[in-house]
Amino acid sequence: MAANGTSVSIQDLSLNFGAVSVLQTLNLDVAEGEFIVLLGPSGCGKSTLLNCIAGLLDISKGRIFIKGKNVTWEEPKDRGIGMVFQSYALYPQMTVEKNLSFGLRVAGVPKDDIAKRIARAAEILQIEPLLQRKPAALSGGQRQRVAIGRALVRDVDVFLFDEPLSNLDAKLRSELRVEIKLLHRKLQNTMIYVTHDQIEAMTLADRIAVMKGGVIQQLDAPQTIYNRPVNRFVAGFLGSPAMNFIEGQLEGGTPPMFRTGSVSIPLDRYAFDGAGNKGGACVFGIRPEHIAFGEAANAMPFATDAAVEIVEPMGSDTLVWTKLGGHNFSFRVEAEKTLRNGDPIRIGFDPARASLFDTQSGNRM
């Protein structure tokens, strides 16, 4: 990531549809060449935000800067953006070549210049053999490549992706994900990418903005978001299989203890956030892959006995469900381990890798 200046800057942006507030005083700065992923469940406003940046939606309040220029009132074409849509949005009556050149022809770019740019884009995306075909004669992956090409030929500063891989099957999705990553490395453009797929977000992003209800919950590097989620929503949204959440009480003292049912977890190794240990009702969260099993469990600061309830083999590894203090609790073991329902097991983990959330506010403690 080349952090030389701000590429896109969104300042106090609000958007209301009538009485419904979709985005609320949202601020976001995207560095030059950065790959930002807007991640969130459907209806969280991530696509809306992207459309605002593109200029396809008129905003209610705030300002948008692209490359230091205030583009709040500019038309989409004057913002220096290229956009890739979920449904590809290729013009069905035009060949691939005409699709790519449409924007340039509208702008009145000279013919030989158009040809040059198309040749370059086609080469980068490896769609040269497809140039004379109509979109109907292309596969989903090829269509999305053409759609990316349409943004590419326009020589824009910022690429906007609106769930570009959601319409593809799983295999193609992972292929194109890698291609987009390679494309970003090659072009070094700023890219803003909307998705609800956490794997896409984790693999592609320099920084992820997790959104909910029109508000950015957390904006950080993927690893930080994964390991230190700021609230319970972010913690639950990222990670598959999902983080284990256990409701209980936090007790002060040395060491501070988390109690639920008959289980007490010492928290002397847990790094409290800002306000520190306030005590009271809280939720203890730990990811299934941070739990040790069998021999390794005894080496952990916290270990306990449990019994296998259900085993879910996933091929690469196996998810085991058990109970901890009366709560459902899952953890990951290697695929080779053969466990049967009812087997007694020993599990343990390091509370330093856990996350504590206030039950009331859901914020990290």
Partner 1 sequence: MADHAVSAAMPQSVARADASGPSGPKPRHMFSRRNIFLYGTLIVVALYYLLPLYVMVVTSLKGMPEIRLGNIFSPPLEITFEPWVKAWSQACTGLNCDGLSRGFWNSVRITVPSVVLSIAIASVNGYALANWRFKGADTFFVILIVGAFIPYQVMIYPIVIILREIGLYGSLTGLVIVHSIFGMPILTLLFRNYFTSMPEELFRAARVDGAGFWGIYLRIMLPMSLPIFVVAVILQVTGIWNDFLFGVVYTRPDTYPMTVQLNNIVNSVQGVKEYNVNMAATILTGLVPLIVYFISGKLFVRGIAAGAVKG
Interface residues toward partner 1, by CB under 8 A: 51, 54, 56, 75-77, 81-83, 85-93, 102-103, 106-107, 134-136, 138, 143, 150, 154, 162
Q: Which is nearer to partner 1, 90 or 250 (CB)?
A: 90
Give least dist CB 74 to partner 1, A: 12
Give least dist CB 158 to partner 1, A: 11
Here the tokens at position 272 are: 């409290």
Give least dist CB 246 to partner 1, A: 41
Cross-strand pairs, 70: 65
In whole angstroms, give the CA distance from residue 138 to residue 125: 14
Would you say 258 and 282 are in contact if contact means Cβ atoms under 8 Å apart? yes
Give least dist CB 220 to partner 1, A: 29
Q: Which is nearer to partner 1, 164 or 248 (CB)?
A: 164
Give least dist CB 28 to partner 1, A: 20
Give least dist CB 83 to partner 1, A: 5
Would you say 39 and 195 are in contact if contact means Cβ atoms under 8 Å apart? yes
Q: Which is nearer to partner 1, 79 or 173 (CB)?
A: 79
In whole angstroms, give the CA distance from residue 178 to residue 342: 42
Q: Which is nearer to partner 1, 32 or 162 (CB)?
A: 162
Q: Which is nearer to partner 1, 54 or 238 (CB)?
A: 54
Would you say 191 and 158 are in contact if contact means Cβ atoms under 8 Å apart? yes
Q: Which is nearer to partner 1, 145 or 290 (CB)?
A: 145
Q: Which is nearer to partner 1, 120 or 346 (CB)?
A: 120
Give least dist CB 144 to partner 1, A: 11
